[in-house]
Amino acid sequence: MSDLDRDVIDACNELIRASESAREELVATELALRRAVELVESGRPFTDGLRSFPVARRREATQTGIENLIRARHEFRLAFMERSIEDGLGPRELGEIWGVSRQRIDQYLQELKKRRLSEADLGHTARQGNQASSADRVATRTHKG
């Protein structure tokens, strides 16, 4: 298994974990809201229902869960696209797979290129010989369209 395959699998697993976590937060918020509504419907003052709902804690936990899910989804897309570029797909095919414009794919590929170049500059990516890096292939495929 290649490093890129491992990156896609890792990103997919992280997306699954983030999805599960976000879902748990949304369910917890839903349950708390239902309890608050039940209090009000049973004749208790609206303020009792509101006080029974941990607004600040639920809002923060829900927001964090959603942000983590969005971040994990983005990382999965980048990993998938990098692997797909290695397999010879271009921006048009990636756009068809993801259901987005080629221009949006170009934005993702430019982000990927910048990230890989930055990693290379920091010495995190070791490439040997005259092999073209993934970032080089991303740049080349982006312009071929």
Q: Print the domain residue range for 51.
A: 1-75
8-60 per-position pLDDT tens digit = 999 999 999 999 999 999 999 898 888 888 888 999 887 877 777 777 888 89
Q: What is the DSSP letter of 124?
A: -
> Which residues have a Cβ under 8 Å from the Cβ of 32 and sit 6 or more positions away?
52, 53, 54, 58
Query: What total of structural domains would you count in the chain?
Result: 2
The pLDDT value recorded for residue 129 is 46
Residue 143 in any domain: the answer is yes
Within 10 angstroms of residue 8's Cβ, the number of other Cβ atoms is 20
Q: Are both 66 and 39 inside the same structural domain?
A: yes
Q: Are both 51 and 114 inside the same structural domain?
A: no
> Which residues have a Cβ under 8 Å from the Cβ of 19 and sit 6 or more positions away?
69, 72
CA 125 to each of CA 1, 9, 115, 116, 136: distance values in angstroms, whole numbers, following the listed order: 18, 19, 11, 8, 13
The CA distance from 70 to 68, in Å, is 5
123 pLDDT more than 80: no
The pLDDT value recorded for residue 136 is 53
The pLDDT value recorded for residue 95 is 92
The pLDDT value recorded for residue 14 is 98
- Dihedral angle over CA of 22, 28, 32, 37, nearest 10: 70
Structure tokens given for 40: 């009000």
The pLDDT value recorded for residue 124 is 46
Q: Which of 42, 75, 108 is the last residue in one of the domains?
A: 75
Q: Using N-to-C axis directions, what is the helix angle for 3-41 and 55-86, rounded to 10°?
A: 160
Q: Are both 31 and 57 inside the same structural domain?
A: yes
The pLDDT value recorded for residue 71 is 97
The CA distance from 65 to 23, in Å, is 8
Question: Which of 37-41, 50-54, 61-65, 140-144 bottoms out in mean pLDDT, i.e. has the lowest?
Answer: 140-144
Structure tokens given for 68: 């983590």
Rounded to an integer, the average pLDDT of 115-133 is: 64
The CA distance from 91 to 97, in Å, is 10
Comparison of pLDDT for 85 and 125, the residue scoring more: 85
83 pLDDT more than 60: yes
